[in-house]
Amino acid sequence: MGKTIVEKILSAHTDTNNLKIGDIIKARVDFAFANDITAPIALKYFKESGARQVFDKKRVGLIPDHFAPNKDIKSAEQCKLLKEFAQEYEIENYFEIGKMGVEHALLPEKGLVLPGDVVVGADSHTDTSGALGAFAIGVGSTDFAAVMALGEVWLKIPPTIKFIFSGKLNKWVSGKDLILYTISKIGVDGANYKVMEFSGEVIKGLSMDNRFTMCNMAIEAGAKTGIIEPDEITLEYVKGRAKRPFQIYNSDSDAHYEKIIEIDISKIEPQVAFPYLPENAKPISKAKGIKIDQSIIGSCTNGRIEDLRIAAEILKGQQVHSEVRLIIIPATQDIYLQAIREGLVDIFITAGGAVSTPTCGPCLGGYMGILAKGERAISTTNRNFVGRMGHPESEVYLASPAIAAASAILGRIASPEEVK
């Protein structure tokens, strides 16, 4: 019997033979990273372990992105720990303010995570890099400390659910809408400790930016990771970025899947996930009219250049509603600079939006857009749990950049069709 892409990647990264689903293995790690929230605890345990050096100075990344630029004294101290550790242990991939970005957008952009890799990050949305055809998983801070020291991770080989997307995308429907729709069908626990392998002609036609968005939110269905087989679009993205050799893996035609789910996207509208779970997605036709106080466009889910271009297309010549705060956050400095060069930032500011330097910021209730009691936000981020973006009695609705931009103009959740 054939193997899935994940089974092939893990087989290549362990010395265990004849692997099967459920086996506990020790896998070699190609790249490991953490941020200003998760790294400090890991750095403490790393030092307490007696380790004298990280497993590879070129394969560890420390990225201050959650509460950075430093929002207060505590966050400044957290970021300082990362900087000092990177200096002490000569870690090459430490990204200071001005060079940093949201980690899950930054690392693929810099060619530090690649197809065929085993990637371990001390952050749940590490699965974003599955869009490259990597096995990318999030771990806790103590596990990350061990990975930094040993270059290996213990894990159980997960089963895979294959999702086959067919049909023709309707206007304004993006990868964000496809993943929200999928989560609404299987639930936030529908893929617990399983791999979500996205496939089909629709996926083959998606840009890398849309693929990153889909894999980013696999964790919101409980998945161990999301993954997409590499193809010419992947290789075009990686070309010129890769810092080292990499290996392409693909699933065999006779690979075993725990389940195969086929989705015809022809009738899928743009989606909006209502509070307080990503699985509460509804078509925009059933979500219009809800008054909002804030619109967020950015994050590791939708802060890439295509996302900003779509938002600018809708906002050009328009004005943000007088009662709405529109906050736009490019995911990396390179994306920010590209947005300036293309005139997108000019469009955003002229329309009445505020543009921030790269940061996770409001996504996790950090800063740059905290909600007060009773306020509502439409957001391109990935989670809308109780209190996720501020006060426990605030509400977050998840959607694509197209819906977030249109909603900012009209002051209520709205379809792009209403303004374009």
**What residues does 261 pair with on adjacent strands?**
163
Under 8 Å between Cβ of 199 and 228? yes
Pair of tokens at residue 89: 């242990």
The residue with tokens 């304004």 is 172
First to last CA, the chain: 51
Q: So what's the pLDDT on residue 145?
A: 97
Within 8 A by CB and 6+ apart from 248, the residues are: 115, 116, 133, 230, 235
**How far is residue 185 from each of residues 6, 127, 168, 169, 261, measured CA to CA in Å?**
24, 20, 19, 18, 10
Under 8 Å between Cβ of 27 and 118? yes
**What are the sequence ranges of the domains in the chain?**
6-262, 271-418
Under 8 Å between Cβ of 182 and 268? no
Nearest Cα residue to 356 out of 330, 324, 320? 330
Q: Which CATH architecture does the domain made up of 6-262 adopt?
A: 2-Layer Sandwich (3.30)
Nearest Cα residue to 233 out of 268, 197, 206? 206
To the nearest 10°, the Cα dihedral for 170, 174, 179, 182? 0
CB 169: neighbour CB atoms within 10 A?
18
Within 8 A by CB and 6+ apart from 7, the residues are: 19, 157, 160, 255
Residue numbers of the chain with a pLDDT score lower than 50:
none
Q: So what's the pLDDT on residue 18?
A: 85
Q: What is 271-418's CATH number?
A: 3.30.499.10
User: Nearest-5° angle of CA 295, CA 296, CA 298?
Assistant: 155
Alpha-carbon distance of 165 to 178, in angstroms, equals: 9
Q: Half-sphere exposure of residue 319, counting CA atoms within 13 Å on the CB side? A: 3
The DSSP secondary structure of 338-362, one letter per residue, reads: HHHHTTHHHHHHHHT-EE--S--GG
The DSSP secondary structure of 105-160, one letter per residue, reads: HHHHHTT-S-TT-EEEESSGGGGGGGGGT-EEEE--HHHHHHHHHHSEEEEEPPPE
